[in-house]
Amino acid sequence: MKRNVLFITLALLATSSCLLAQGAPTPFSVAAASPVAAGGYTSGSLARPAAATGPSSLSPFSRIAFGGGISPMGINLQAAVNVNQRMNVRGVGNVFNYSVNNIKTNGMNLNGQLNFASAGASLDFYPFPEHGFRLSPGMLLLNQNAVSASLAVNGGTSFDLNGVTYYASSTNPITGNGKLGLNSRNPAFTMTTGWGNMISRRGGRLSFPFEVGAAFVGAPTVNVALTGGQACDQFGQNCVNVATDPTVQANLQAQIQKYKTDISPFQYYPIVSFGVAYNFNLRPGAAVK
């Protein structure tokens, strides 16, 4: 995976450099320009060109920015480097862990754990460099976002599987586990828009970037397993082992399929991020006014 991330990032950089080479003037094009008009020469010397106006232009890969923020994927750290006047390459990593306890569904008690870890890269394109608006296609290259849970059914209480009601044995209550995966498409395409350039073209070190969009991660995956205990009828009789009984297992798989159908439309994960960034020179004298 690390090698794939490196290759994709290098490809993004190479593409951006080609765009720069096609659009940016070179020193040789200036030297080959037509003779200076009347008044352009002074006695024994060449007139100096007029000073540039408007936003500052930066040499390619001359400035770098680091920042941090928060989003639905967790706490994020970001780094960006300028490619040309209208484009940055940006990398971002997210991490978040959180426990959720005492959730009840279908008669089952759940204790869950959110384990989020992801990383990606994007091209930030600024149609109007002096402003902050941007469009950012990219890739989520690493996605380990998932929710895991342990489940239990207290003895003597009921639970439902595929519309069938069972009762957990009073002497041998039911246990199990489950997992919800948010990464069935990995790597995944991302598309965001936002405001705020981590490497301002108007000068300044600090910025407060905001973005909104989505990662197209595919339909969530669902897995549930009943690992122990006995299920009985309402009178506490005719008990069977939930881990091995074919009827219970068939109803469990049918219930899982219902869960998958219910959540199948949600094939994207929202990205709403706000943070702060600081940029500085990679080389002395990087900015050209």
- The pLDDT assigned to 29 comes to 36
* H or E element that contains 62: none
The list of the chain residues with pLDDT below 70 reads: 1-56, 284-289
Q: What is the structure's pLDDT at 58? A: 82
Residue 144 burial by Cβ neighbours in a 10 Å radius (0-12, 13-18, 19+)? middle
pLDDT digits (tens, 9 = 90+) for 221-230: 999 999 999 9
Listed residue (112, 86, 72) closest to 211, CA to CA: 72
When computed from its CA atoms, the radius of gyration of the chain, rounded to whole angstroms, is 29
Q: What is the pLDDT of residue 229?
A: 97
Structure tokens at 213: 């969009």
Q: Which residue has the tokens 């991302």?
A: 190
All structural domains of the chain, each given as residue ranges with its CATH number in brackets, are 68-288 (2.40.160.170)
Q: What is the pLDDT of residues 7-54, one digit of tens each?
A: 444 344 444 443 333 444 433 333 333 343 343 433 333 344 433 334
| Angle ∠(228,230,234) on CA atoms, nearest 5 | 150
Are 74 and 94 a contacting pair, CB within 8 Å?
A: yes
- The whole-chain average pLDDT of the chain stands at 83
Spatial separation of the C-alpha atoms in residues 75 and 95, rounded to whole Å: 6
